[in-house]
Structure 1
C-alpha cells in the first residue's frame, strides 16, 4: 500500500474487540515511534505502554480509552526537548505529535485501529503512572482491533473528499 492510501485508510476507532495486540505488532509500532524525527534529533519522547488489566483500569481514572486493550501514553521530557533560541519555543508537543503519527500509521498498516486521545486529566495520569515533573503527557494513543460487531464501522478512505478542506483553502504560496 502506498503512503497516501495508508493515510486515507486510517480513522479514529472508538470501540475495540477484547483481543490482545500481539507483541510482534506492538514492537513494530514502538519501532515506528523510535525512528520518528524530532527537533534537532533530541528525542524527548517517553512512551508508557499500558496493556495489563490493572493498568488499563488505572488509565480509566484519567481518560476514556474506548475499551482499547493497549494504550501508549506519549510524553515529552521538557528537560530533553529542543528549544528555539530566539523565543524559547519548546518542540515537545510537535515531537510527540510526530511520534504518535508514526505509531498510528504503523498500527493501521498492521490492521489495527487507533484513536489519539487529547482529553485526559493530566494530574491523574501523572500520578497513576509515576510521571516526573519534567515529563508531560501530551496524548494517549489507544490501539486495538476495531470491534465491527459492536458497530465500529471502518470509515471510507474516500471520506476525505467531503470531510477535508480543499488544498486551495489551506495552501498558500509565498505569502498568506
Structure 2
C-alpha cells in the first residue's frame, strides 16, 4: 500500500468491536508517535494509555458520547509546555508537535487494521483534573483506539480540490 492509499483509507471510527488490542500493536502506534518530528526536536510529548475500565469510565465524563465508550483503549495525548519550543514572537509549538505525533499514530493504527477518532471537543479541564496532571502538561486530544466494527473507508471523502487549496509562487484566491 502506498502512503497516499493509507492516507485515503484512514477515517474517523465511531464504533469499535469488543475486542482486546494486542499490546505490540499499541506499542507500534506509540512508537510512530515517538518518531514524529517536533520543533527543534524538543519532543514535548506525553501519552497516557488507558485500558482499565474504571479509569476509562472517568474519562468518559469528559466526552460523554455512547460510541466513545465502545473503544477498548484510549490514548490521552498531552503536550509538555515546559519542554516545547517557543518562537521569537512567543508562539508555542507544543500543540503542533503533539498534532504531528497524533497524525503519525492515527496512520499507524490504520496500517495495523485499527481505527481511531481524533477528539478535541472534550472537557480538557476535567480531564486534566481526573488524571491529576501537573500544570505544565496539557491534554491536547483524546484518541480512542480499537478494531472498527464497520468499514467505512470505502465512502468517498469530501475534500476540496487541489486547485482550491494550492497556490504556486504567490497567493491566488
TM norm. shorter chain > 0.5: yes
Matches within 5 A, 1:33-48: 33-48=33-48
Q: CA offset at residue 155 of structure 1?
A: 2.5
Partner of 2:91: 89
Unaligned runs of 5+ in 2: none
* 1:164 aligned onto 2:159: yes
Partner of 1:14: 14
Unaligned runs of 5+ in 1: none
Matched residue of 2:32: which SS? Answer: helix
| CA distance, structure 1, for counterparts of residue 129 and residue 19 of structure 2 | 27
Partner of 1:24: 24
Assess if the C-alpha contact under 8 Å between 1:14 and 1:66 holds in 2: no
Which of 69, 73, 85 is residue 70 of structure 1 equivalent to?
Answer: 73
Matches within 5 A, 1:116-131: 116-131=118-133
RMSD: 1.1
| CA distance, structure 1, for counterparts of residue 3 and residue 153 of structure 2 | 17
| CA distance, structure 1, for counterparts of residue 69 and residue 165 of structure 2 | 32
Matched residue of 2:153: which SS? Answer: coil
Partner of 1:112: 114
* 1:173 aligned onto 2:171: no
Q: CA offset at residue 66 of structure 1?
A: 4.5
Partner of 1:60: 60
Assess if the C-alpha contact under 8 Å between 1:16 and 1:145 holds in 2: yes
Q: CA offset at residue 28 of structure 1?
A: 0.3
Q: CA offset at residue 175 of structure 1?
A: 1.8
**What number of residue pairs does the alignment pair up?**
168
Matched residue of 2:140: which SS? Answer: strand
Partner of 1:154: 152
Matched residue of 2:27: which SS? Answer: helix
* 1:138 aligned onto 2:140: yes
